[in-house]
DNA sequence: TTCTCAATGTGCAAAGTTGCGCAATGGGAA
DNA sequence: TTCCCATTGCGCAACTTTGCACATTGAGAA
């Protein structure tokens, strides 16, 4: 048994279906506008039933934001690659930096998605929930790094504030003219949180 | 024209209907359990149509959490009463303290509601959204106090982190045995955020 | 290889959400 | 006071979400 075992056919199929539904949702949203996309159309596009769509995503918004979810989740996993002795906030900031710099290089259509997200008012609510849902995972990661209790005040606050920083930076970035550097804003919000508010 | 003019019959009726719907939702949720409450039952209990319910609240969860919304909104307004020269974070912490201490005195059934909230998993998502929705109002209040731009990084981060502190404290509190002092936890999360994470 | 079980996909029905249009009414202008 | 209209309540229809029951199919045991 290896540490990163083959996911198995079942899991791979499941992941493929989820990805397919997400891609279909994005395609249709870009083509017809996010508000004119129905669940039925997404399901048809992905070749599954409406019911199956609901088995994977609780709403259209969730399907659209699954890309964001995956990206942030990837960032959280990158935290694991940081040196063990590194202080938590430094590790988080460094992971965010390498993540957003890499993102700045090749994002042909990601900007399009993000702008599309802002256009649809209903998505901001789902956006907030997406970030909040990741707090649990990040807390687990931080707890594993530091040996602290995942339910402790310190760990939970660090997760919440780190993700809130990313979220706020993203929102401000969306209000700025295209071409604005996202990492600069993220860096600024993280620095603000790092230095405290007292 | 006075600063706090009479709201007018129309507005008062509207507020009464909203309050009535919230109360009805709470009553039924406590009686039959939060998951067995239908929108129709709430509307009937409040004496309005199902459609009207949806005019006031986007979901059952929103109706249930309207009490939380009002309370936090009240806290935000209390910030206005703090001395003008007081630094933002001090004002926020002080407002929170007087708010939660006063709350600790007489909360016969509020604890019941909060525990009820935790029981229903679907409510945590709405809870997060409720807090996020208040970020705009708090940002406006802080901007008014300090003369800063409500859309600035500093103001937005202060709002987001302050409300995240309240939210995290509340979640931890809900996992603790009954009788635990809420203000102590809030105080701890606020202190953590105040001192920063760097 | 074959058998068994749990996970997955689906249809159906009940409940929830939202845009549209119409009727009633409070607030303010004339 | 009388009139106008923006706000509010509501019915209706389309769409979304969710619990339930059943068929199908990987994964692992025998």
Per residue in B90-117, pLDDT tens? 999 999 999 999 887 776 667 777 777 7
Rounded to the nearest angstrom, the gap between the alpha carbon of residue A89 and the centroid of all alpha carbons in its chain is: 19
Per residue in A150-166, pLDDT tens? 999 999 999 999 999 99
Q: How many whole angstroms separate alpha carbon B164 and alpha carbon B168?
A: 6
The answer to whether residue B132 neighbours chain A at the CB level (below 8 Å) is yes
Residue bearing tokens 């399907």: A63
Query: What residue ranges do the domains of chain A occupy?
Result: 1-58, 60-195
- For A1-58, CATH gives 1.10.10.60
Per residue in B112-146, pLDDT tens? 777 777 778 789 999 999 999 999 999 999 999 99
Q: Is A70 left (phi over 0), alpha (psi -120 to 50) or beta?
A: alpha
Per the CB < 8 Å rule, is A193 touching B195?
no
Residue ranges in chain A whose pLDDT is less than 50: 1-5
* Residue B9 near residue B94, CB atoms below 8 Å: no
Sort out which chain B residues have CB atoms less than 8 A from A191's CB and list them: 198
pLDDT of res. A1: 40
- Nearest residue for D18, CA–C1': A54
Residue bearing tokens 């939060």: B34
* Residue A187 near residue A172, CB atoms below 8 Å: no
Q: For helices B122-146 and B153-175, give the axis angle rounded to 10 degrees.
A: 140
The answer to whether residue A128 neighbours chain B at the CB level (below 8 Å) is yes
B152 to each of A161, A173, A176, A189, how far by Cα in Å? 17, 11, 12, 10
Q: What is the end-to-end Cα distance of chain A in Å, rounded? A: 50
| CA nearest neighbour of A152 among B123, B176, B97 | B176
- For B60-195, CATH gives 1.10.357.10
Residue of B nearest to A93 (CA): B198
B153 to each of A1, B33, B59, B86, B166, how far by Cα in Å? 48, 42, 32, 20, 20
State whether the beta carbon of B10 lies below 7 angstroms from any atom of strand C. yes
B152, containing H or E segment: none
pLDDT of res. B168: 97
Q: How many whole angstroms separate alpha carbon A75 and alpha carbon A136?
A: 14
């Amino acid at each position: 048994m290896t540490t990163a075992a083959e996911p198995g056919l079942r899991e791979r199929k499941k992941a493929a279906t989820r990805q397919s539904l997400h891609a279909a949702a994005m395609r249709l949203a870009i083509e017809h506008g996010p508000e004119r996309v129905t669940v039925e159309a997404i399901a048809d596009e992905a070749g599954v039933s409406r019911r199956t769509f609901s088995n994977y995503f609780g709403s259209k918004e969730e399907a659209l934001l699954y890309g964001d979810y995956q990206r942030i989740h990837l960032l959280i996993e990158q935290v694991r690659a940081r040196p063990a002795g590194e202080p938590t906030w430094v590790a988080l900031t460094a992971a965010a930096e390498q993540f957003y710099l890499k993102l700045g290089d090749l994002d042909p259509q990601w900007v399009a998605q993000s702008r599309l997200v802002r256009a649809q008012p209903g998505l901001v609510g789902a956006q907030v929930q997406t970030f909040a849902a990741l707090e649990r995972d990040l807390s687990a990661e931080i707890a594993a790094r530091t040996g602290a209790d995942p339910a402790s005040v310190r760990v939970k606050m660090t997760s919440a504030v780190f993700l809130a920083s990313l979220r706020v930076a993203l929102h401000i970035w969306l209000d700025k003219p295209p071409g604005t550097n996202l990492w600069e804003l993220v860096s600024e919000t993280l620095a603000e949180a790092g230095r405290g508010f007292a």
